[in-house]
Amino acid sequence: MGPLIPQGIITGQWDFVIALLIGTAFGFILESSGFSSSRNIAGVFYGYNFVVLRVFFTAMIVAMVGLLYFNYLGWIEMDMVFVLPTYLAPMILGGFIMGLGFVIGGFCPGTSYTACAIGKLDGFAFLGGFIIGVFIFAEAFPLFENFYYSGYMGNITIGEVFNISNELVTFIFVIVAIVAFYVTWLIEKKVRKNRTESKFE
Amino acid sequence: MNKNYLFLAILMIILAGGLLILPERTNYTQINPEDLLWDIIQPSRYVTTDQVAKMLIEQDPTLELIDVRCAKEYNKFALPNAINIPLDSILSPNYSDYLGIEDMNAVFYCNDDILADQAWVIAKRMNISRIYIMKGGLNCWIKTIIQPTPPPETASGDEFDQYDFRKGASMYFTGASISAPKSDSKSQVTIKRKKKTTATAGGC
């Protein structure tokens, strides 16, 4: 059955309608998970709040397991699902820069919009910086264009790189996620005990 | 720790573990019935023995000949560079790599059309494109390419050209240089053709 657009079940013009619906749902879940507060988000780096890790890891393993069952039942054709191409070194650097922005600003791009949506001033400040950053990046792009496109590995998945099945990758991720949940819960408990400036429920 | 979290964690491990022990997926992606019917009635799904011979002689790299007869018959005689995928094992994963290769034109053949037609329908239902059937199969191959019969004298120039090609192809495939003396009959043919062209030229 799926994916709907590549199979021609619905036309590509539905792209934006679907994006709007998913975006709304995504924003709603971000806000209801407390992601509109930069304190919650930056907490990952200080060890007192791992909600970001929990929410994203949960979303990831649920999606992975769900998609593989859907694929098994023939509801979605995984071979037709778009896989973002990998540019290894630029992506590692990009991830590092994004993480830096995360810890300095207390938001990631999506959560800054969530913060703006509920009228947080720090969200608007982050958004302003974000737009200036986009502008600088676009203007300076020719300077690092070669690096940007280097290390191209194609539309690959982790399973293809290590030559193991997607099912095994998913299983490993689920185990890693659950171990991470437990370990971060322990860290959180320890750090929060020593903290006096803020209270947690 | 909240008991719900423990329950959810265990559920997630069971679901992920279930993926590992699931048997291999067997539901093939199938073409739409309407598309299949439309493709079945297209004469373009057939290629003639002449076309196959031409591609073989020209060593066309896009040609992939697939012999769908049983291995015994294949070993007895097969077209050059043909691979053997018996009809009953066409769905076997051992052969799945041979079907649906990008930019390759797969041509099925057997002794007649019947097995090749079945193989074509199976491959088509698996949504494999660029597949064809050699019309008439090996019987037609022997009749037209290996032992071509001269056309009647009243035949058109095209038919004589085709006959010339088939004789050349026959020599190519059988390696029969012995048929060189037959070139006499070939020259007779060309004389006849000349007559015809002058006749039509006069008519104009």
DSSP B105-153: EEEEE-SSSHHHHHHHHHHHHTT--SEEEETTHHHHHIIIIISPPPPPT
pLDDT at A200: 53
**Closest Cβ opposite residue A65 in set B9, B16, B27:** B16
Residue B35 confidence class, pLDDT cut points 50, 70, 90: confident
Residue B194 confidence class, pLDDT cut points 50, 70, 90: low
Residue B192 confidence class, pLDDT cut points 50, 70, 90: low
H/E run at residue B20: helix B3-21
Most B CBs within 10 Å: which of A1, A72, A79, A187, as the mutation test of the B interface? A72
- Rounded to the nearest 10 degrees, how much is the dihedral formed by the CA atoms of B34, B39, B41, B42? 150
pLDDT at A154: 87
A44 touches chain B (CB under 8 A): no
Which domains are seen in chain B, by residue range?
33-141 (3.40.250.10)
- Name residue B107's beta-bridge partners: B65, B132
B13 touches chain A (CB under 8 A): yes
H/E run at residue A6: none
Distance in Å, alpha carbon of A174 to nearest chain B alpha carbon: 7
Q: Which residue has the higher pLDDT, B189 or A170?
A: A170
B14 touches chain A (CB under 8 A): no
- Evaluate whether B128 touches B73 at the Cβ level (below 8 Å): no
A71 touches chain B (CB under 8 A): yes
Question: Using the beta-carbon criterion (under 8 Å), do B12 and A68 form an inter-chain contact?
Answer: no
User: What percent of chain B has a predicted confidence (pLDDT) above 90?
Assistant: 34
A171 touches chain B (CB under 8 A): yes
pLDDT at B203: 47
Residue among A166, A30, A91 nearest B25 (CA):
A166
Lowest mean pLDDT among A56-65, A172-181, B1-10, B188-197: B188-197
Distance in Å, alpha carbon of B142 to nearest chain A alpha carbon: 43
Residue B204 has pLDDT above 90, yes or no: no
First to last CA, chain A: 45
Interface of B with A in 15-74 (CB under 8 A): 15-17, 19-20, 22, 25, 27, 29
Residues 6 or more apart whose Cβ sits within 8 Å of residue A25 = none
Q: At what angle do helices A51-73 and A38-46 cross, to 10 degrees?
A: 90
Tens digit of each residue's pLDDT (9 = 90 or more) over B130-147 = 899 999 999 999 999 888
Distance in Å, alpha carbon of A58 to nearest chain B alpha carbon: 10
Residues 6 or more apart whose Cβ sits within 8 Å of residue A89 = A147, A150, A151
B9 touches chain A (CB under 8 A): yes
pLDDT at B96: 80
pLDDT at B25: 67
Question: Using the beta-carbon criterion (under 8 Å), do A65 and B13 form an inter-chain contact?
Answer: no
Average pLDDT of B75-92?
Answer: 89
Residue B29 has pLDDT above 60, yes or no: yes
Residue B188 has pLDDT above 70, yes or no: no
- Tokens 């997607």 locate to A166
**Closest Cβ opposite residue B1 in set A62, A171, A185:** A185
Tens digit of each residue's pLDDT (9 = 90 or more) over A142-185 = 999 999 999 898 888 898 889 998 899 999 999 999 999 999 99
Residue B100 confidence class, pLDDT cut points 50, 70, 90: confident
Residue B165 has pLDDT above 70, yes or no: yes
Residues of chain A below pLDDT 70: 196-201
The number of C-beta contacts closer than 8 angstroms across A and B is: 41
pTM above 0.80, yes or no: no
Question: Using the beta-carbon criterion (under 8 Å), do A72 and B29 form an inter-chain contact?
Answer: no
> Which string of DSSP letters, residue by residue, matches B39-96?
HHT-GGGEE-HHHHHHHHHTT-TTEEEEE-S-HHHHHH---TT-EE--GGGTTSGGGG
Distance in Å, alpha carbon of A96 to nearest chain B alpha carbon: 30
pLDDT at B181: 47
Look up the ipTM and state it. 0.78
- Name residue B84's beta-bridge partners: B67
